[in-house]
Chain A
Amino acid sequence: MILPSDETPERRGDSEPDDDFAWAAGATPESVPPVFADPYGTGGVEHPAPPGWREDLKRSVLEALKDISIIEDPNQDFDPPEPPDLFMFFGELAALRNEVRRGQKKLADGVSKLATAGGGNPAAVDTAPAHELVALYDSIVAEGQIPAAAALTEAALIRAGVIQIPAQTGGAFDPATMASVSGKVPAKSAKVKSVQRAGFTWRGRLLRPALVEV
């Protein structure tokens, strides 16, 4: 009898990509290339997306939106922008979706590692997973591109006990948890003018200071 995790998606009747299988086989998200979808049912060819595909996709979508927004006269015939190649579009969409799924898997693993880190022995605590979560925060929440993913990331941080340093514009500068953008040590009475980058603590440890302008 086959081990359930070794079932192929087709055999399970599951058309979704089998992330568990890929992870169980020792693959990392970086080593699993995005796969182009097969909208024409030709059997499909797996090959990695070209370098910079994500930026290209973002740029083309923004340009298309811009073109649409400058139409002023609704009576004027709409001259649509060059239609995108549907095959490429679906492929890139699938790749983007896979990227999000892998991000979620990484989040879940990070939270799981943090939950068991050190086994109660503070000296043995490894902060690497916490740093990974913070890096994810930077790439997902700070960029603000995908609100649903941002909310998920923030929830994961809270679950993992990674606490954002409360740096606020107009608030007092705290040298223990904040660093000045200028690199200089500000006066004790200095106030925060703006927050450039969020800072975090975990289990009372400073993972990184909040970067502020004073």
Chain B
Amino acid sequence: MDPNAKTFLFDYLNTASPSGFEMPGQRKWASYIRQFADTVENDAYGNAWAVLESKKGPKIMLEAHADEIGFIVKHISKEGFIHVDRIGGSDHANARGRRVVFAGDKGPVRGIIGNTAIHIRDRSGGEKAPEVHDLYVDTGASNDLEVLAQGLRPGSPGVYADGVEDFGADRLVGRALDNRIGGFIIAEVMRRLAPLRKKLNCTVIAANCVQEEIGGHGAKMLSYRLHPGAAICLDVTHATDTPGIEKAKHGSVKLGGGPGITHGAAAHPLVIQRLIKCAEQSGQTIQHESASRFTGTDTDDIFWSRGGIPSALVSLPLRYMHSVVECVSLADVESVIALLTAFVQSVKVNDTFSQTL
């Protein structure tokens, strides 16, 4: 991986940007991608997009989401403990004993999610995972006034404090790879396309959308605003090659097995066909996935906009989703970048991806 790209990736991943509070990450993303784009813009809610303009052909949108899961302060007790609610699908089952960091009004505030010692915990009825309202955060304050003095109040967002690190020969592990790795990938695609721009037959938009983890709201806003001719949504997918996952129920996806391409639901047959052709021509291995009703990604919010935008979902296999040890293969990251780059290069001036009777 290019050293500058890797520096950006680690910095970007370590920047807390929970849903609804994405601007710190968005500013870093915009600052990085600006060098490969004609324009970089954002809207009121923080959706950001970079454009490689072309005077001919359709607009192709490569989309990822910029937000991550987290917590939000719900209540501060008299004793100075903070009770939280989830932002998105934070896994509260394994939250106890973890470090968190809140975006306080006076700067970051570190905290720990309290964990009653195993010695004195009531385990007589068999232990159950705590509900989110059972969790409490200790920020080192002795009472509620001290918490307020730290700059925290109901509504302060937070994330787990875990960062990203290299893992094994070819992997990354960390928090928020879902889906800031997607923002990195579309930026890398732009980096590779920028020198080839004269040969492109389309305008390329790299869109980094907000609020996916709480309902795909950013993608709704941006697909309406930009009205692309086709869209490729990039998100992570569950790698199911670890113990205890029933493949009959969740499908078979291998970490390191290449990009996942989803069939069904929002996925447009002709866009999928083109992606498969691009993969075949470049000798890339892909993995097939199915969606019977919805994909659980921004694709669901893009495809029906403005009378229908031909869309596809390309997924990066990821282990341990929504935990602090999300894990991806760098070989897969490279494959996804190559596939998306090849797709954009394959677009012809008159491509509409419209099906005919």
Interface residues of A (CB under 8 A from B): 1-8, 11-13, 26, 118-119, 121, 124
Contacts and interface: CB of A to CB of B under 8 A. Distances in A.
B125 A119 contact: yes
A12 B212 CA distance: 14
Given A2-B297, A26-B85, 4 more contacts: A11-B294, A13-B293, A119-B124, A124-B124
B215 A6 contact: yes
Interface string B285-298: 00000000110110
B325 interface: no
A3 B238 CA distance: 12
A11 B300 contact: yes
Nearest to A8: B215
Contacts of A5: 89
A26 B178 CA distance: 26
Given A3-B89, A6-B213, A119 B179 contact: no
Contacts of B301: 11
Contacts of A11: 215-216, 294, 300-301
Interface residues of B, number: 27
Given A11-B215, A11-B301, A4 B296 contact: yes
Contacts of B179: 1
Nearest to A5: B89
A121 B215 contact: no
Nearest to A4: B296
B88 A6 contact: yes
B252 to A, nearest CB: 17
B89 A124 contact: no
Nearest to A6: B89
A1 B124 contact: no
Contact of B235 (A1, A7, A8): A1
A2 B213 contact: yes
B136 to A, nearest CB: 15
Interface of B: 85, 88-89, 124-126, 132-133, 178-179, 212-216, 235-238, 293-294, 296-297, 300-301, 321-322
Given A11-B216, A11-B300, A124 B125 contact: yes
B214 A6 contact: yes
B88 A3 contact: yes
Contact of A2 (B88, B124, B125, B238): B88
Contacts of A12: 293-294
14 contacts: A1-B236, A1-B237, A1-B296, A1-B297, A2-B88, A2-B213, A2-B215, A7-B296, A8-B215, A11-B216, A13-B293, A119-B125, A121-B124, A121-B125
Contacts of B132: 26
A1 B179 CA distance: 7
A49 to B, nearest CB: 27
A2 B132 CA distance: 18
A2 B216 contact: yes
Contacts of A2: 88-89, 212-216, 296-297
B357 to A, nearest CB: 25
B181 to A, nearest CB: 12
A181 to B, nearest CB: 39
Contacts of B235: 1
Nearest to B69: A3
Contacts of B297: 1-2
